[in-house]
């Protein structure tokens, strides 16, 4: 049949170049399933509101069911988007007198906005599930490395002793916030634009709340202009994905560094590694490098979205079609990267000895020694800092006598005469003592780390439950919608 969209107002067709330039069919594969759901819900509502007859409803739903079963490959790819191609296919199946009524009271503008939100909320749930698996991996590896000594770094210089558990818990904290951001964004995504029509709503007696409920949305997106034109939810999602990818990229950077011969702290599982085509001995941490690299593409998609959406006048503009594919690329990459990272972490081989012996270089216990001077002698911290700083130029394991000598040159007094003992010095230079003294909330001491892991697990449990509630609501709603569809067929 002739193009059902252009046949009225337009008398010529675009050539292949213009067609390829204008069509969103390729990227609309992401929203095919959502579009069928939207068509089902809209048709059900049209019948319930007496806008179409029971027979028309039955025939349209039957046609849609056929299209659903055939899949997107059954559609005519010469149309400019999936919505019109699907409607044209429906008209082919059930005739225009019936199929031509499905689009009553709506526009592709509210339709596409609804489809994007349906697809994105599912992907966001998947992303949150993957984030939580990575959180579990980090908590597990933390528990098994609760006393694995690691030289903590600032400026990538040895700084103070800590544990691998403490280090990984830092990443678990970032990912917990990433989950929170995604969960929060979900609430704004799961709002229904359907019924906004082109932008001015419609004169048909539609029921927006009914389609909202049938499609599992928490509420409607009220203002009909806002409903079709806002894409802030895409920007928000791409921003939270960028944050996740930045966190993963930081982890990847450490994995790459720590896998080098210079560090030799870890070895990633062979399945996450690659080798060289020329250097037979090589084992390269490619998957971590790729996550680091792909973070650039995700941040790029955020930049594209921001730039496409800025300065658009209300309401719908075709520019918006260029925004959508960015979110699919962004979600796809982020979900896979999080999942790969969980695999890397949970199969990591940790070289505890190499970490511990690295910690003995660079006088990582200097801060604790300065603190010990303060606590045992009462001198100000700044003075202790000067004494230990001066000593550190020559040794990283000073004796009480050496401390006295330097302290005397600076303060005219000996620390041993003010209360510093051999035992104090000995304890301060012991990395385990350093770590276990740091038992304030969030510190690396064993007890505190255990408490922190447990409290992370509790919060993770709550996050899992909240996520499951969102997911099961969606499953229930789709089931219910399909039951209603069946009952009207
Ligand atoms: N393919 C379009 C998009 O992705 C669907 C909406 C088309 N609306 C229109 N008025 N041309 O944005």
The half-sphere exposure of 332 on its side-chain side, counting CA atoms within 13 A, is: 10
- What CATH number does the domain located at 16-104 have? 1.10.275.10
Residue 312 is predicted with a pLDDT of 97
* Rounded-to-integer distance, Cα 425 and Cα 376, Å: 10
What φ, ψ does residue 77 adopt, rounded to 5°? -85, 5
pLDDT digits (tens, 9 = 90+) for 258-269: 999 999 999 999
Ligand 1 atom nearest residue 320's Cα = 12
Cα of 324 to ligand 1 centre, how many Å? 10
Per-residue CA distances from 143 to 139, 252, 358, 426, 483 (Å):
6, 21, 21, 28, 47
Mutate to test the pocket of ligand 1, among 87, 110, 112 (most ligand atoms within 8 A of CB): 112
* Greatest extent of the chain over all pairs of C-alpha atoms, in Å: 103
188 pLDDT more than 50: yes
* Domain chopping of the chain, boundaries: 16-104, 109-198+217-358+455-477, 366-429
Residue 417, pLDDT > 80, answer yes
User: pLDDT at position 1, please?
Assistant: 47
Residue 33 phi/psi, 5-degree rounding, is -60, -40
Question: Is the CB–ligand 1 distance for residue 174 below 6 Å?
Answer: no
Say yes or no: CB of residue 136 within 6 Å of ligand 1.
Answer: no
276, 397, 413, 455: which one is catalytic? 276
Same topology, domains 16-104 and 109-198+217-358+455-477? Answer is: no
Q: Which atom of ligand 1 is nearest to the CA of 324?
A: 4
Say how far apart CA 125 and CA 393 lie, in whole Å: 54
Token match 């690396």: residue? 444
d(CA 167, CA 318): 47
Give residue 418's pLDDT. 98
In terms of DSSP H, where are the helices of 144-198? 164-189
Which residue out of 3, 21, 24 has the highest number of ligand 1 atoms within 8 Å of its CB and is therefore the one to mutate?
A: 24
Q: Is the peptide bond before 297 cis (omega within 30 degrees of 0)?
A: no
Cβ contacts of 315 within 8 Å, gap of 6 or more? 109, 198, 199, 225, 228, 229
Q: Residue 2: which pLDDT band, with cuts at 50, 70 and 90?
A: confident
pLDDT of residue 127 exceeding 60, the answer is yes
The answer to whether 272 and 340 are in contact (CB under 8 A) is yes
Cα 383 to averaged position of ligand 1 atoms, centre (Å): 69
Q: What value does the mean pLDDT take over residues 162-166?
A: 98
Pocket lining: 449 vs ligand 1, CB cutoff 6 Å:
no
| Ligand 1 geometric centre to CA of 117 (Å) | 15
Cβ of 308 closer than 6 Å to ligand 1, yes or no, is: no
- For residue 472, pLDDT beyond 90: yes
Collapsed DSSP state (helix, strand, coil) of residue 134: helix
Cα 365 to Cα 63, 145, 154, 432, distances in angstroms = 74, 20, 14, 10
Residue from 364, 360, 410, 416 nearest 383 by CA = 410
Q: Do residues 271 and 349 make contact, with C-beta atoms less than 8 angstroms apart?
A: no
Intra-chain end-to-end CA distance of the chain, in Å: 26
The residue whose CA has the least distance to atom 3 of ligand 1 is 321
- For residue 213, what are its two tokens? 């409920």
Express each pLDDT in 223-256 by its tens digit. 999 999 999 999 999 999 999 999 999 999 999 9
Strand partners, 152: 160
- Whether the pLDDT of residue 60 is over 60: the answer is yes
Q: Which CATH code is given to the segment(s) 109-198+217-358+455-477?
A: 1.20.200.10
Catalytic site includes residue 155: yes
The predicted structure's pLDDT at residue 451 = 98
Backbone φ and ψ for 451, nearest 5 degrees, come out as: -60, -45
Q: Percent of the chain having pLDDT more than 90?
A: 99
State whether residue 373 is helix, strand or coil.
Answer: helix
pTM score, whole prediction: 0.97
Interior/surface letters 413-447, b for 16+ CB within 10 angstroms, e for the rest: ebbbeeebeeebbebbbebebbbbbbeeeebbbbe
Residue nearest to atom 4 of ligand 1 (CA): 321
- Residue 448 in contact with ligand 1 by CB distance below 6 A: no
Q: Which atom of ligand 1 is nearest to the CA of 82?
A: 1
Atom 7, ligand 1: residue with shortest CA distance: 108
Residue 307, Cα to own-chain centre: how many angstroms?
21
Sequence-distant (6+) residues with CB within 8 A of 472 are: none
SS3 percent helix, strand, coil of the chain, rounded to 5, is 65, 5, 30
**149-154/157-163 β-pairing:** antiparallel
- Ligand 1 pocket residue status of 388, Cβ below 6 Å: no
Distance CA 33, CA 55 (A): 24
Locate the ligand 1 atom nearest the alpha carbon of residue 81 and give its number: 1
């Amino acid at each position: 049949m002739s193009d059902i969209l252009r046949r009225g107002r337009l008398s010529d067709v675009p050539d292949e170049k213009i067609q390829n330039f204008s069509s969103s069919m390729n990227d609309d594969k992401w929203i095919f399933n959502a579009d069928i759901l939207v068509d089902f819900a809209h048709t059900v509502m049209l019948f319930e509101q007496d806008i179409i007859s029971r027979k028309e409803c039955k025939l349209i739903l039957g046609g849609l069911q056929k299209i659903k079963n055939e899949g997107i490959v059954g559609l005519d790819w010469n149309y400019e988007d999936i919505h019109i191609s699907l409607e044209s296919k429906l008209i082919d199946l059930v005739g225009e007198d019936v199929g031509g009524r499905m689009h009553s009271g709506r526009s592709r503008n509210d339709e596409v906005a609804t489809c994007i939100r349906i697809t994105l909320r599912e992907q966001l749930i998947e992303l949150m599930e993957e984030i939580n698996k990575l959180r579990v991996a980090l908590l597990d590896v933390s528990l098994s490395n609760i006393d694995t000594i690691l030289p903590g770094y600032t400026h990538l210089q040895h700084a103070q002793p800590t544990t691998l558990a403490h280090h990984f818990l830092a990443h678990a904290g970032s990912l917990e916030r990433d989950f929170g951001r995604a969960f929060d964004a979900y609430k704004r995504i799961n709002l229904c634009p359907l019924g906004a029509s082109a932008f001015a709503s419609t004169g048909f007696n539609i029921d927006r709340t009914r389609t909202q409920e049938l499609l599992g949305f928490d509420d409607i997106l009220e203002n009909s202009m806002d409903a079709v034109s806002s894409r802030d939810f895409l920007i928000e999602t791409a921003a939270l994905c960028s944050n996740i990818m930045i966190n993963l990229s930081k982890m990847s950077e450490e994995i790459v560094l720590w896998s080098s011969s210079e560090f030799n702290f870890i070895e990633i599982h062979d399945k996450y590694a690659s080798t060289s085509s020329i250097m037979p001995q090589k084992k390269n941490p490619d998957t971590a490098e790729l996550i680091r690299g792909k973070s650039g593409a995700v941040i790029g998609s955020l930049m594209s979205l921001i730039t496409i959406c800025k300065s658009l006048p209300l309401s719908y503009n075709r520019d918006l079609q260029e925004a959508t594919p960015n979110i699919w690329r962004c979600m796809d990459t982020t979900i896979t990267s999080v999942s790969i990272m969980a695999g890397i972490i949970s199969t990591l081989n940790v070289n505890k000895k190499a970490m511990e012996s690295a910690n003995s270089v660079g006088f990582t216990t200097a801060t604790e020694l300065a603190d010990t001077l303060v606590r045992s002698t009462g001198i100000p911290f700044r003075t202790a800092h000067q004494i230990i700083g001066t000593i550190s130029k020559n040794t990283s394991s000073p004796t009480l006598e050496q401390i006295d000598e330097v302290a005397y040159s600076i303060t005219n007094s000996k620390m041993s005469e003010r209360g510093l003992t051999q035992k104090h010095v000995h304890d301060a230079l012991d990395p385990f003592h350093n770590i276990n003294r740091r038992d304030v909330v969030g510190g690396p001491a064993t007890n505190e780390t255990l408490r922190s892991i447990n409290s992370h697990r509790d919060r993770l449990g709550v996050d899992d439950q909240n996520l499951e509630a969102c997911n099961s609501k969606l499953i229930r709603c789709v089931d219910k919608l399909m039951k209603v569809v069946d009952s009207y067929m």
